[in-house]
C-alpha cells in the first residue's frame, strides 16, 4: 500500500483534499484538535492531564536546547529513559508550582523582570559596545528556543513566579551552628580499620576448566559471545559545504561587497595612549570623590603647562599600578578594549592631544594620545578570496532551508535510491561497511550519531532497505542512509571465541573462590579473633577514604560501633571479597575556621534543599499530582503504570 502512495503522490493528495475539506465543515478545526490531542495520559496535576505526545514534544525541545548549548554532548545521554523521565518530572513540578503560585497570587513586576534579564550572562553578551541590546541577536536567541522575544520574557516572568513558591521555604531554613557541628562531626567521623583483600587474581592458578565445562558456560552465556548486527550502508549528507559547491558568485557581486566593506576588510584602526588615573570607584563616598577629582584637576593643569612631563607625572602620581611605572603607557589598542568613556575620548583626539578629565567606573583619567596606527587599505585582489568565501557562506546559509526541504522530500519520495537527489543537489553518495547500532570509539561523523543509527536499524529500514528519513545530526546538517546489506546479530562459534570463553570462566570461578575463602575466613576469625591476618591499621573517613573501595567504606561507616572491634565481610563481585575490622571510632580532624564556615554553608544548603523537597511533596499531594509512568532503572524502558 505504501508503495502505491509513494508512486501516486498527486492522486493521493487530490483524494485527501476531497476527504479533508468536508470533514472540516462537519467536525470543525477544534474537533480535529481534540481528536489529534489523543495519546496516553502520562501524568496529571489536578484537572491538567499531560499526554504522551506533549511529553515527547517537551523532551524534544529540551534535547534541542541541550544540543544547541553543547554540540558535543553525547546524544545517548539525552535520549535515555532516565533523561526522558527527568523531563516528565520537570513538567509535573512546573505545573504543581504554577498552581501554588496562582493560588498564592504570586507574580513578578516589570522591574524584577528587567533586573533578571540584565543579570543574565547570555543576554549580557548580546550588548553592543555602546551598552544597548542587539535586538536582532536577542530575537535569534528567543527563536532558538522556539519563542518570540515576548514569549521568552513571559517564560522568564513565569520562572520568577515559580521561584517565589519555594524561596519562601528555602530562605527561611534554619541550620544552627550547634546542630551543624553535631551533624558534620558525625558525617566526617574517622574510623580505624584493618583490611584483608581476597582478590580473584590470586585464585586464577587454581582454576583449570575442562572442555566440557567451557562448553556448558558457553551454552549458558551465549549473549556474551554474539557478533552484533551490522550493515553495509550508503548515505548522503546535506550541509553548508555541499550547498556552497552549488553557489556561484559573480565578479560584480564581489566588487560591490568590497566597496561596501573595504574599511572592515582592511583592519581596525589602533591608537596608543598614556594616562594618569586617580582612583574613584562608583561606591566611593561623595566627599572622597570630590577630593580625588580636585587632585586629578591639579595634575591636569600641571601636564598641560608642561606636556613633556606627562610620563614623569604619571610615574609619580598615577594610581594605575599596571601602567604607572612605564609613564602611563597603555600601548596600542583598538575599539572595544577600553571602558567606553575612555575609548570615546581616545578615539576623538588628535595625536599629541591631552584630554580633559575623563570619568569612568575606575576614577578620573587624564589621557595623552601618543600615536594613531591607521590600517593599510587592501586592494580588491588581496581580499577577493576572503570576500568570495564570505559570500558563498552567506548564500549557502540562505539557501539551506529551501534545499533542506527538497532533500527531505526527495529521500522519501525516491526511497530506493539516492541517484536522483545526488544529481540534483550535487551531493556525493557515500558508503560504509560494518555499521553497527552502537558505534565503536573510532567512528566519527554522521555514522556515530545515535539518532541516525536508530533510523538505520529501524525494522522497516532493515526489512525493506529503504532510505531513512532525513535526520538532523548537527547544525545545518541532514543525513539519510539506506541499508544495502544486513547481517543480523549471531552467536559466534565456540571455536572462534574459545579463548574469550576460557578467560571469562576463569575470572568467574576465581571470584567465586575468593568469596568462598573470604566468607570462610570471616567465620573463622570471628570465632578466633587472634588468628586474623589483617593489614596494618589505617584511619579512614568519608572525606579521606585512603583508596578503600566505596562499597567497603559504606559498610565501615554504617557498622554498629557499640561493640568494638567488629569484623565485617564485603562482597565486591568480580572484584573479589574484602574483610575489614573496625577497631575504634575517632573524632574528625579539626577543621580550619575557613573550612568550618564553608561546611556550615554547605550544611545550610542541604537543610534548605531537604525542606524545599519536603514542601514540594506536600504540594504534590495538595494538587493531586500523579506520574503514571514507572521510573526507569538502568537499561529499562518507560512503561505506563496501570491505574
What distances in angstroms separate CA 399 from CA 243, 247, 257, 392, one per listed residue?
Answer: 8, 9, 19, 10
The pTM for the full model equals 0.53
127 backbone dihedrals φ, ψ, rounded to 5°:
-80, 145
Residues whose CB is less than 8 angstroms from the CB of residue 41 and which lie 6 or more positions away in sequence, other chains included:
49, 50, 51, 52, 628
From 1-15, 72-86, 320-334, 434-448, the region with the lowest mean pLDDT = 1-15
User: What pLDDT, in 10s, does the model give residues 133-186?
Assistant: 777 777 777 776 667 878 888 888 888 888 888 887 887 878 888 888 888 888
Inter-residue contact 369 to 307 (CB < 8 Å): no
What distances in angstroms separate CA 457 from CA 12, 32, 84, one per listed residue?
Answer: 29, 33, 21
pLDDT at residue number 270? 86
pLDDT at residue number 138? 74
- Within 13 Å, how many C-alpha atoms sit on residue 428's CB side? 6
User: What is the percent of the chain with per-residue pLDDT over 70, rounded to a whole number?
Assistant: 88
User: What pLDDT, in 10s, does the model give residues 537-549?
Assistant: 999 999 899 999 9
301 backbone dihedrals φ, ψ, rounded to 5°:
-60, -35
- The sign of the CA dihedral 90, 95, 99, 102 is positive
Identify how many contiguous H helices and E strands the chain contains and give both numbers. Answer: 25, 17
What is the C-alpha to C-alpha distance for residues 198 and 92, in angstroms, rounded to an integer?
A: 48
If one compares 101 and 575, the residue with the highest pLDDT of the two is: 575
37 pLDDT tier (thresholds 50, 70, 90) = very low
pLDDT at residue number 119? 79
From 101-115, 432-446, 447-461, 576-590, the region with the lowest mean pLDDT = 101-115
pLDDT at residue number 130? 65
Flag whether pLDDT at 26 surpasses 60.
no
From 5-9, 303-307, 442-446, the region with the lowest mean pLDDT = 5-9
pLDDT at residue number 162? 82
User: What pLDDT, in 10s, does the model give residues 363-412?
Assistant: 999 999 999 987 777 777 777 887 787 888 778 778 887 888 889 999 99
Mean pLDDT of the chain: 84
Inter-residue contact 110 to 68 (CB < 8 Å): no
Amino acid at each position: 500500500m505504501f508503495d502505491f502512495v509513494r508512486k501516486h503522490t498527486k492522486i493521493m493528495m487530490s483524494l485527501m483534499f476531497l476527504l479533508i475539506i468536508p470533514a472540516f465543515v462537519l467536525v470543525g478545526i477544534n474537533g480535529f484538535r481534540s481528536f489529534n490531542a489523543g495519546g496516553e495520559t502520562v501524568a496529571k496535576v489536578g484537572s491538567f492531564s499531560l499526554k504522551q505526545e506533549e511529553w515527547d514534544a517537551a523532551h524534544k525541545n529540551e534535547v534541542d536546547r541541550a544540543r544547541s548549548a553543547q554540540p558535543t554532548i553525547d546524544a545517548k545521554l539525552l535520549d535515555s529513559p532516565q533523561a526522558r523521565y527527568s523531563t516528565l518530572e520537570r513538567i509535573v513540578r512546573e505545573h504543581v508550582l504554577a498552581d501554588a503560585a496562582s493560588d498564592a497570587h504570586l507574580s513578578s513586576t516589570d522591574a524584577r523582570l528587567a533586573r533578571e534579564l540584565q543579570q543574565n550572562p547570555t543576554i549580557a553578551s548580546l550588548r553592543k559596545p555602546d551598552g544597548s541590546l542587539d535586538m536582532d541577536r536577542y530575537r535569534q536567541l528567543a527563536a532558538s528556543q522556539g519563542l518570540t522575544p515576548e514569549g521568552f520574557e513571559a517564560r522568564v516572568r513565569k520562572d520568577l513566579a515559580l521561584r517565589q513558591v519555594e524561596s519562601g521555604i528555602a530562605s527561611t531554613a534554619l541550620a544552627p551552628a550547634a546542630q551543624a557541628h553535631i551533624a558534620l562531626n558525625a558525617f566526617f567521623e574517622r574510623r580505624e580499620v584493618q583490611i584483608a583483600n581476597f582478590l580473584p587474581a590470586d585464585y586464577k592458578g587454581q582454576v583449570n576448566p575442562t572442555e566440557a565445562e567451557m562448553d556448558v558456560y558457553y551454552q549458558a552465556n551465549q549473549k556474551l559471545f554474539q557478533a552484533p548486527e551490522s550493515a553495509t550502508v550508503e548515505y548522503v549528507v546535506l550541509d553548508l559545504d555541499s550547498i556552497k559547491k552549488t553557489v556561484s558568485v559573480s565578479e560584480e557581486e564581489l566588487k560591490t561587497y568590497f566597496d561596501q566593506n573595504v574599511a572592515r576588510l582592511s583592519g581596525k584602526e589602533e591608537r596608543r595612549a598614556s594616562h594618569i588615573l586617580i582612583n574613584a570607584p562608583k561606591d566611593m563616598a561623595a566627599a572622597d570623590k570630590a577630593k580625588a577629582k580636585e587632585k586629578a584637576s591639579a595634575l591636569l593643569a600641571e601636564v598641560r603647562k608642561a606636556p613633556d612631563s606627562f610620563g614623569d607625572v604619571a610615574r609619580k602620581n598615577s594610581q594605575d599600578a599596571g601602567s604607572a611605572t612605564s609613564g602611563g603607557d597603555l600601548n596600542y589598542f583598538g575599539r572595544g578594549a577600553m571602558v567606553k568613556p575612555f575609548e570615546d575620548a581616545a578615539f576623538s583626539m588628535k595625536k599629541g592631544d591631552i584630554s580633559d578629565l575623563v570619568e569612568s567606573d575606575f576614577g578620573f583619567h587624564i589621557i595623552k594620545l601618543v600615536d594613531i596606527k591607521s590600517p593599510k587599505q587592501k586592494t580588491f585582489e588581496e581580499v577577493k578570496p576572503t570576500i568570495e568565501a564570505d559570500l558563498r557562506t552567506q548564500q549557502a546559509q540562505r539557501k539551506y532551508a529551501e534545499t533542506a526541504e527538497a532533500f527531505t522530500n526527495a529521500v522519501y519520495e525516491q526511497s530506493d535510491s539516492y541517484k536522483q537527489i545526488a544529481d540534483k543537489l550535487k551531493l556525493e553518495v557515500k558508503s560504509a561497511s560494518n555499521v553497527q547500532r552502537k558505534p565503536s570509539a573510532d567512528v566519527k561523523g554522521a555514522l556515530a550519531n545515535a539518532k541516525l543509527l536508530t533510523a538505520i536499524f529501524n525494522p522497516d529500514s532493515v526489512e525493506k532497505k529503504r532510505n531513512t528519513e532525513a535526520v538532523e545530526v548537527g547544525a545545518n546538517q541532514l543525513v539519510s542512509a539506506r541499508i544495502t546489506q544486513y547481517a543480523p546479530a549471531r552467536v559466534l562459534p565456540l571455536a572462534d571465541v574459545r579463548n574469550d570463553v576460557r578467560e571469562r570462566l576463569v575470572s568467574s570461578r576465581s571470584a567465586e573462590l575468593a568469596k568462598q575463602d573470604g566468607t570462610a575466613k570471616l567465620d573463622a576469625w570471628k570465632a578466633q579473633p587472634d588468628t586474623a591476618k589483617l593489614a596494618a591499621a589505617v584511619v579512614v573517613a568519608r572525606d579521606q577514604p585512603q583508596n578503600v573501595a566505596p562499597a567497603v567504606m559504606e559498610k565501615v561507616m554504617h557498622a554498629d560501633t557499640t561493640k568494638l572491634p567488629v569484623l565485617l565481610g564485603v562482597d565486591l563481585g568480580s572484584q573479589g571479597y574484602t574483610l575489614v575490622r573496625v577497631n575504634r571510632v575517632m573524632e574528625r580532624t579539626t577543621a580550619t575556621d575557613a573550612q568550618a564556615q564553608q561546611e556550615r554553608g554547605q550544611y545550610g544548603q542541604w537543610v534548605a534543599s531537604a525542606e524545599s523537597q519536603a514542601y514540594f511533596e506536600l504540594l504534590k499531594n495538595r494538587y493531586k499530582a500523579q506520574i503514571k509512568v514507572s521510573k526507569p532503572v538502568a537499561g529499562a524502558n518507560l512503561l505506563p503504570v496501570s491505574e
